[in-house]
Amino acid sequence: MISLKDVSNTPLAIELPPGIGDFFKLARIVPVKIDGRELLVATTDPFDLSRLHALELAVGLTVRPVLAREKEIAARIDALYSSAYAAEVNQDAAAPQLDGIGDDEDVAHLRDMASEVPVIRMVNQMLVRALESRASDVHIEPFENQLKVRYRIDGILHEVESPPRQLKGAVISRLKILAQLNIAERRLPQDGRIKTRLAGKDVDLRIATVPTLYGESVVIRLLERGQIFTELDTLGFPPTLLAKFDEMIKRPHGMILVTGPTGSGKTTTLYGALQKINDPGKKIITIEDPVEYQLSGVNQIYVKPQIGLTFANGLRTPTSSWWARSATPRPPRSPYRRHSPGTWCFRLCIPTTPPARFPAC
């Protein structure tokens, strides 16, 4: 046990990441000293491993806890840290949301809040739970009196436990920082990507933000890298239809159009088909916007219209099997006009209704 009466009143938080003092207040932990790569902290519960581990991740140091009296910890926290943060949070919850580019002070406040350990842990847990639930998307939606989080599982949205509404700005800013988006811009949609590791798995996250009446709405697409692709015979095809589809993709040339609602398995079906026909005797090219999964032995092209790499000029080898998928409703049709005998074309269509999309594809 340590007596905080004998410890200097100089706050060590100045040597630690911005905003970390707010975590100390919430967790009732007092930083005592930094010795090399070790941070000594006083706490009433030195066996609270989850909080101590979260602190280690935030500060990048080994945390060594020591027991201290609760009254001394409370007094030291009051002495070291003001109540300004709590006042700012309450003010943020009551104030109308800014719908434009924030000023420097507002942006700095959002950046500090997004760097706090509770917010970091909250965002990480939300993403890990989505991955464990087999969710394809996470929807974070601000409303007048709440921040709603929903997971899309097997094409259907399911509401889950949501962060407090007053942390809306911090949670969304945390995601925008990770995706290297402009956290000051709240008037226009933004798109970004995150490569990270969740629950021991390498994951790509596609982030899309859009301004709404009560703040920015965020959609996160979870893409597990190195995922074992589902075999076609496990997708629920009726036996006769599966046999017909299997026979079709093995033909020497042709075109297949795949369409369906969001989350229905269009990409899974196409990757399953590619896995089925992928062998060293074939050259396969994909033209994708975006590339969702990496396929061994397949030449994958990521469309970049800003430099002139489009669907129209992405094809250079006429004797190839290839497929195209687009996140936009109607990519240029010229690649399909160039389709010639001896090649295979798989095409993914974004639908309004499945029958209505085929003429547009």
Q: Which fold has domain 20-83?
A: GMP Synthetase; Chain A, domain 3 (3.30.300)
CATH 3.30.450.90 intervals, the chain: 106-224
Highest mean pLDDT among 10-24, 49-63, 213-227: 213-227
SS3 content of the chain, % helix, strand, coil (to 5): 35, 25, 35
Q: What is the pLDDT of residues 44-75, one digit of tens each?
A: 888 877 778 777 776 777 889 998 888 888 88
Backbone angles phi, psi at 95, to 5 degrees: -80, 150
Q: Worst-scoring range by mean pLDDT, 10-24, 184-198, 207-221, 307-321?
A: 10-24
Banded pLDDT at 278 (limits 50, 70, 90)? confident
Which architecture, in CATH terms, is 106-224? Answer: 2-Layer Sandwich (3.30)
Contact 167, 122 (CB under 8 A): yes
pLDDT averaged over every residue in the chain: 75
Q: What is the predicted pLDDT for the residue at 241? A: 92
Q: Tell me: pLDDT of 202 over 60.
A: yes
Q: What is the predicted pLDDT for the residue at 68? A: 87
Instruction: Summarize the confidence of residues 160-184 as an average pLDDT.
Output: 85
What is the gyration radius of the CA atoms in the chain, in angstroms?
Answer: 26
Instruction: Summarize the confidence of residues 120-135 as an average pLDDT.
Output: 88
In angstroms, what CA-CA distances link 39 with 30, 183, 290? 10, 31, 43
Q: What is the pLDDT of residues 305-359, one digit of tens each?
A: 778 887 777 666 555 556 655 555 455 454 455 554 556 677 666 655 555 544 5
Q: What is the pLDDT of residues 262-271, one digit of tens each?
A: 777 788 888 8
Banded pLDDT at 37 (limits 50, 70, 90)? confident
Q: Is 341 exposed, middle or buried (0-12, 13-18, 19+ CB in 10 A)?
A: exposed
